[in-house]
């Protein structure tokens, strides 16, 4: 009798414990027996293990290769329609650069990247603006827009890039020491992120000659500085301009117009792009669509795996340095550019280039079948695959192949240092900007 009582007591205790465990499990996950778990709890439960897609090829790179068998052909009507829409909304030919015509003396410059007091255009600041718009009454037949993606390494695209009439490069990339074969060395416009000036050249506060010597690779090209995206950008951008003038460098510094950047952001938002900031690559590609009849993009591949060989790629063709934070939506931007490629508006070049007589990369990629000639993807075809690859590529995107003018070094709101500096205060302040704290001009 006593044994039976002990057995029943044990069963009772075990039942109570089991009931408590079941109740705890279902209450924690908000799941009731017989019901499907709530969608939000499924989404918040963490990433799906990679084994769920082990062996499958449903990724962006696979879709690119799969759909790479269609010939690319420019669609003149679609190009003209898109160019007209872009020009009517953004007016890149007249507003992309700050000039004395579009930003007169006494007006105010409104920063596009942060809410702060507008900057009054004083006589001294006005004197730094371009006197003439470099793009007025000037267009080109072919343009190469060169990103810095690792896909350019060992691409042999240098000759094709340089064959364009106008070549645009991003963020002062290296062109020497063997890189010429893959990226060329011709430059007509190069962007300069102030974060580079801060990191590599100490914000031009002391020795400035190394900066000037680094510009020799770009000849007399335009150097485009986002001086008015953030307050932090303004002092270092002005010091770059003063340094170029003091050392008689042939480089021609000009400032990106924040009004143009605001218009461009609204335009791409209207196209369905959702991003915190447009990347430099998308900015200059948009500008090229207004400047050039035939736009070719190189080095625009924001993923760390080659689209055909599936081999790992470095972040840039010259290094594998990762960015510090995410401010750009690189895969989303790439999807929009692919749509334009599909529509025959512009052409994206991936893979290796073979020598031909025509501008841009060969229509037959060296690693592709003989019938291959460029990407040709249905509009929105990356939609289902994009999240998969985005999950696989967990590295930061803010300085993927083409980094934007807002990449931050010292804080979350802008570039560089010295946000409180007034770059237009008198001759003494200007001297400080021109020469730094210790060195005199020419040293």
Our measurement of the distance from residue 95's CA atom to the centroid of its chain's CA atoms, rounded to an integer in Å, reads: 21
Q: How far apart are CA 433 and CA 233, in angstroms?
A: 13
In sequence order, which residues have a C-beta less than 8 Å from that of residue 176 and are 6 or more positions away? 185, 217
Q: How far apart are CA 127 and CA 409, in angstroms?
A: 28
Neighbouring-strand partners of residue 146: 169, 298
Instruction: Residue count of the chain, please give it.
Output: 443
For residues 208 and 441, the answer to whether their CB atoms sit within 8 Å is: no
Look up residue 425 and give its two tokens.
Answer: 């205060």
Radius of gyration of the chain (CA): 27
Q: 89-101: string of b/e by CB count within 10 Å (b at 16+)?
A: ebbbbbbbbbbbe
Look up residue 119 and give its two tokens.
Answer: 């900057």
For residues 376 and 72, the answer to whether their CB atoms sit within 8 Å is: yes
Examine the residue annotation and report whether 328 is marked as an active-site residue of this protein: yes
Look up residue 236 and give its two tokens.
Answer: 């270092």
3-state SS, residue 194: helix
Q: How far apart are CA 228 and CA 119, in angstroms?
A: 9
Catalytic residue among 296, 328, 341, 433: 328
Neighbouring-strand partners of residue 191: 224
Q: In what order do the strands lie in the sheet with 292-298?
A: 252-255, 222-225, 189-191, 166-169, 140-146, 292-298, 347-349
For residues 72 and 347, the answer to whether their CB atoms sit within 8 Å is: yes
The half-sphere exposure of 199 on its side-chain side, counting CA atoms within 13 A, is 14
Comparing C-alpha atoms, which of 436, 437, 423, 430 is closest to residue 228?
423
Catalytic residues: 328
């Amino acid at each position: 009798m006593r044994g039976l009582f002990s057995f029943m007591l044990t069963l009772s205790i075990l039942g109570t414990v089991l009931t408590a465990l079941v109740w705890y499990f279902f209450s924690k996950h908000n799941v009731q027996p017989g019901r499907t778990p709530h969608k939000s709890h499924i989404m918040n439960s963490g990433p799906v293990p990679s084994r769920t897609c082990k062996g499958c090829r449903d990724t962006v790179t696979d879709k690119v290769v799969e759909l790479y068998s269609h010939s690319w052909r420019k669609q003149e009507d679609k190009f003209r329609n898109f160019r007209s829409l872009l020009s009517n909304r953004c007016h890149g030919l007249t507003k992309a650069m700050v000039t004395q015509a579009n930003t007169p003396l006494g007006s105010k410059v409104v920063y596009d990247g942060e809410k702060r007091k507008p900057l009054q255009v004083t006589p001294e600041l006005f004197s730094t603006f371009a006197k003439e718009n470099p793009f007025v009454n000037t267009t080109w037949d072919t343009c190469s827009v060169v990103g810095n993606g690792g896909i350019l390494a060992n691409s042999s695209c240098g000759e094709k890039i340089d064959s364009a009439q106008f070549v645009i490069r991003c963020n002062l990339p290296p062109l020497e020491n063997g890189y010429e074969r893959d990226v060329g060395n011709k430059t007509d416009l190069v962007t300069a992120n102030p974060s580079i000036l801060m990191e590599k050249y100490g914000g031009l506060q002391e020795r400035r000659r190394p900066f000037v010597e680094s510009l020799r690779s770009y000849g007399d090209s335009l150097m485009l500085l986002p001086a008015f995206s953030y307050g932090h950008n303004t002092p270092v951008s002005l010091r770059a301009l003063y340094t170029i003038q003091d050392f008689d460098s042939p480089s021609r510094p000009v400032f990106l117009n924040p009004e143009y950047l605001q218009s461009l952001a609204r335009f791409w938002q209207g196209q369905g792009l959702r991003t915190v900031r447009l990347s430099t690559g998308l900015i200059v590609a948009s500008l090229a669509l207004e400047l050039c009849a035939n736009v070719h993009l190189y080095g625009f591949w924001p993923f760390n795996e080659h689209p055909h060989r599936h081999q790992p790629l470095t972040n840039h063709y010259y290094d594998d340095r990762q960015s510090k934070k995410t401010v750009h939506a690189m895969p989303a931007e790439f999807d929009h550019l692919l749509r334009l490629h599909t529509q025959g508006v512009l052409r994206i070049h991936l893979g290796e280039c073979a020598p031909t007589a025509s501008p841009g990369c060969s229509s037959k990629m060296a690693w592709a079948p003989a019938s291959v000639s460029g990407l040709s993807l249905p509009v929105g075809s990356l939609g289902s695959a994009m999240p998969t690859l985005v999950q696989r590529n967990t590295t930061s995107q803010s300085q993927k192949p083409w980094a934007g003018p807002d990449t931050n070094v010292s804080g979350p709101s802008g570039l560089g240092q010295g946000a409180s500096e007034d770059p237009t205060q008198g001759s003494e302040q200007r001297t400080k900007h021109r020469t730094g704290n210790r060195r005199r001009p020419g040293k």
